[in-house]
Amino acid sequence: MEVNIPQVEKKRVVIIGAGFAGLALAQKLAKTGAFQIVLFDKNNYHQFQPLLYQVAMAGLEPSAIAFPLRKALQRSADLYIRLAEVLKVDPAAREVHTSLGSCGYDYLVLANGAVTNFFGNAEIERFCIPMKSVSEALYLRNRILADFEQAVSESDPEEQKALMNIIVVGGGATGVEVAGALAEMKRYVLPKDYPELRTGEIEVLLLEGGDRLLSGMSAVASRKALEFLQKMGVKVIFGAVVTQFDGARLRLNDGTQLHCRKVIWAAGVTGSPLEGLPPETIVRGKRLRVNRFSQVQGFDNIFAIGDSAFMEEEKYLQGHPQLAQAAIQQARHLARNLERTRRGVELLPFSYKDLGAMATIGRNRAVVDLPRFRFQGLLAWFVWLFVHLFQILGVKNRVFVFFNWVWNYVTYDQPLRLIIRPKDNRP
Amino acid sequence: MEVNIPQVEKKRVVIIGAGFAGLALAQKLAKTGAFQIVLFDKNNYHQFQPLLYQVAMAGLEPSAIAFPLRKALQRSADLYIRLAEVLKVDPAAREVHTSLGSCGYDYLVLANGAVTNFFGNAEIERFCIPMKSVSEALYLRNRILADFEQAVSESDPEEQKALMNIIVVGGGATGVEVAGALAEMKRYVLPKDYPELRTGEIEVLLLEGGDRLLSGMSAVASRKALEFLQKMGVKVIFGAVVTQFDGARLRLNDGTQLHCRKVIWAAGVTGSPLEGLPPETIVRGKRLRVNRFSQVQGFDNIFAIGDSAFMEEEKYLQGHPQLAQAAIQQARHLARNLERTRRGVELLPFSYKDLGAMATIGRNRAVVDLPRFRFQGLLAWFVWLFVHLFQILGVKNRVFVFFNWVWNYVTYDQPLRLIIRPKDNRP
Q: What tens digit of pLDDT does each residue of B11-29 get? A: 999 999 999 999 999 999 9
Whether residues B68 and A424 touch (CB distance < 8 A) is answered with no
Same domain membership, residue A333 and residue A255: no
Q: What percent of chain A has pLDDT over 90?
A: 88
Catalytic pick among B177, B275, B312, B339: B177
Residue B162 shares a structural domain with residue B83? no
Q: Which among B291, B326, B343 is the end of a domain?
A: B343
Residues B182, B58: Cα–Cα separation, whole Å? 10
Residues A146 and A68 in one domain: no
Beta carbons of B423 and A196 less than 8 Å apart: no
Residues of chain A contacting residue B130, judged by C-beta atoms under 8 Å apart: 425
Residue B360 placed within a domain: no
Is residue B205 located within the same domain as residue B104? no
Predicted confidence (pLDDT) per residue in B367-382, tens digit = 999 999 999 999 999 9
- A219, A250, A267: which is the final residue of a domain? A267
Residue A334 lies in a domain: yes
Residue range A157-180: average pLDDT? 95
Strand partners, A251: A244, A257
Half-sphere exposure (Cβ direction) of A152: Cα atoms closer than 13 Å: 23
Is the CB of B192 less than 8 angstroms away from the CB of A75? yes
In this predicted model, what pLDDT tens digit does every residue of B42-87 receive, in sequence order?
A: 999 999 999 999 999 999 989 999 999 999 999 888 999 999 999 9
Residue B48 included in any domain? yes
Residue of B8, B52, B63, B69 to mutate when probing chain A, most A C-beta within 10 A: B63
Q: A135 vs B422: CB contact, 8 Å cut-off?
A: yes
- Residue of chain A minimizing CA distance to B427: A126
User: Quick check: is B427 in a domain?
Assistant: no
Distance from CA of A192 to the nearest CA of B (A): 6
Q: Are residues B164 and B60 in the same domain?
A: no
> Are A71 and B247 inside 8 Å of each other by CB?
no
Question: pLDDT tier at B425 (50, 70, 90 boundaries)?
Answer: low
How many residues are listed for chain A in this entry? 427
Using the beta-carbon criterion (under 8 Å), do B126 and A82 form an inter-chain contact?
Answer: no
Q: Is residue B75 classed exposed, middle or buried when 0-12, 13-18 and 19+ CB atoms within 10 A define those classes?
A: exposed
Does the pLDDT of residue B412 top 90, yes or no? no
Does the pTM of the predicted model rise above 0.95? no
**Integer Cα distance of A362 and A26 in angstroms:** 35
Co-location of B233 and B165 in the same domain: yes
Residues 6+ apart with CB under 8 A from A410: none
Domain residue limits at B247: 122-267
Q: How far apart are CA B415 and CA B411, in angstroms?
A: 9
Asked if B196 and B209 sit in the same domain, the reply is yes
Pick from B132, B160, B134: nearest CA to B148: B160
Residues of chain B contacting A409 with CB distance shorter than 8 Å:
none
B275 with B257, same domain: the answer is no
- Is B425 within 8 Å of A83 when comparing Cβ atoms? no
Q: What angle do CA B215, B221, B225 make, to 5 degrees?
A: 90
For the segment A235-252, what is each residue's pLDDT rounded down to a tens digit? 999 999 999 999 999 999
**CATH number of the domain that B182 lies in?**
3.50.50.100
- List the single residue in B63, B136, B418 with the smallest CB-CB distance to A423: B136
pLDDT at A271 (0 to 100)? 96
- The whole-angstrom distance between B381's CA and the closest CA on chain A is 24
Give residue B19's pLDDT: 97
Considering the domain boundaries, does residue B244 fall inside one? Answer: yes
Is the pLDDT at B426 greater than 70? The verdict is: no
What total number of domains does chain B contain?
2
Which strands make up the sheet holding A79-83, listed edge to edge? Answer: A79-83, A36-41, A12-16, A107-110, A302-304
Which of A218, A237, A267 corresponds to the end of one domain? A267
Residue B183 lies in a domain: yes
Task: With beta carbons less than 8 A apart as the criterion, state whether B162 and B259 touch.
Answer: yes
Mean pLDDT, residues B220-228 taken together: 97
Q: Which amino acid is at A199?
A: T
Lowest mean pLDDT: which of A278-282, A412-416, B273-277, B390-394?
A: A412-416
Rounded to whole angstroms, how far apart are CA atoms A131 and A51?
A: 11
Could you confirm whether A177 is annotated as catalytic?
yes
For strand B79-83 and strand B36-41, is the pairing parallel, antiparallel, or unpaired? parallel
Q: Which residues contact B198 (CB under 8 A, 6 or more apart)?
A: none
Shortest Cα distance from B207 to chain A (angstroms)?
Answer: 21
- B252 with B320, same domain: the answer is no
Within this chain, do residues A63 and A137 fall inside the same structural domain, yes or no? no
| Domain CATH number, residue A74 | 3.50.50.60
pLDDT at residue A331 tops 90: yes
Mutation test of the interface with chain A: which of B73, B153, B404, choosing the one with the most A Cβ atoms within 10 A? B153
Same domain (yes/no): B209, B178: yes
In this structure, the answer to whether residues A160 and A261 fall within a common structural domain is: yes
Query: In chain B, whose CA is at the least distance from the CA of A60?
Result: B63
CA angle (B312 as vertex; B309, B315 as ends), nearest 5: 130
Under an 8 A CB cutoff, do A193 and B74 touch? yes
Question: How far is residue A310's CA from residue A289's CA, in Å, rounded to a whole number?
Answer: 5
B407 to chain A: which residues are within 8 Å by CB?
396
- Å from B1 to nearest chain A CA? 11
Please indicate, yes or no, if residue A403 is contained in any of the structural domains. Answer: no
A14 φ, ψ to 5°? -100, 125
* Residue A392 belongs to a domain: no
pLDDT tens for each residue of B119-168: 999 999 999 999 999 999 999 999 999 999 999 999 899 999 999 999 99
DSSP A36-87: EEEEEESSSEEE-GGGHHHHHTTSS-HHHHEEEHHHHTTT-TTEEEEE--EE
